[in-house]
Amino acid sequence: MSQAVGPWERRNRRVAYENDWIAVYDDLVVQPDGAPGVYGVVHPKFLAVGVVALDVNDTVLLVGQHRYTLDLFTWSVPGGGVPFDDDPLEGAQRELAEETGASATTWRELARFTLSNSITDGRGIIFLATGLSPGEPHRDGTELGMEIRRVPFDEALRLVDSGEIHDVFTQVGLLAADRHLRERGSAKEPT
């Protein structure tokens, strides 16, 4: 069944691959210029949420984990996948608690984004969490060996500058938190 998708036409869609986390669609399309083509669309089954958890002493919680996809140990803000039917904020609170044990009194949405829009319809939300209380993490079997670091917020921004923090969710979260705090007038000047 042919279907208009903006200036594109979708002639056919088949599920090329599917697991519990993603589906990949292989679409037969007609491009905006009228040429026939294929379009592969990666559909994540979960909303990506991340949490910039900022403590009273201006430190931010980072979690370190070996990432299977990259075969690299990376530092990022806590976060994970939340079912699209769930409340994103509750999902973010759950992910923060599972990965770090922390809970927070004050939550604010920092950024809402779409991912690599030439290949995926994936979406994400980053929250700012303040008023932290510590607790015990309870991680799942893929998160064994996860580490936690408290990093001064300014240092975390410098790790973004240098590319040592390269996870794009974490970069946008820290940069958006910096902008938010600066606009509120409560953040330090960049050094």
Minimum CB distance to its own copies smaller for 133 or for 163: 163
Give least dist CB 59 to its own copies, A: 19
Minimum CB distance to its own copies smaller for 71 or for 136: 71
Collapsed DSSP state (helix, strand, coil) of residue 165: coil
Give least dist CB 182 to its own copies, A: 6
What is the CB neighbour count within 10 angstroms for residue 15? Answer: 10
DSSP string, 69-119: TTTEEEEE-SEEEEETTS-HHHHHHHHHHHHH--EEEEEEEEEEEE--TTT
Minimum CB distance to its own copies smaller for 41 or for 103: 41
Minimum CB distance to its own copies smaller for 20 or for 133: 20
Give least dist CB 118 to its own copies, A: 7
Give least dist CB 29 to its own copies, A: 7
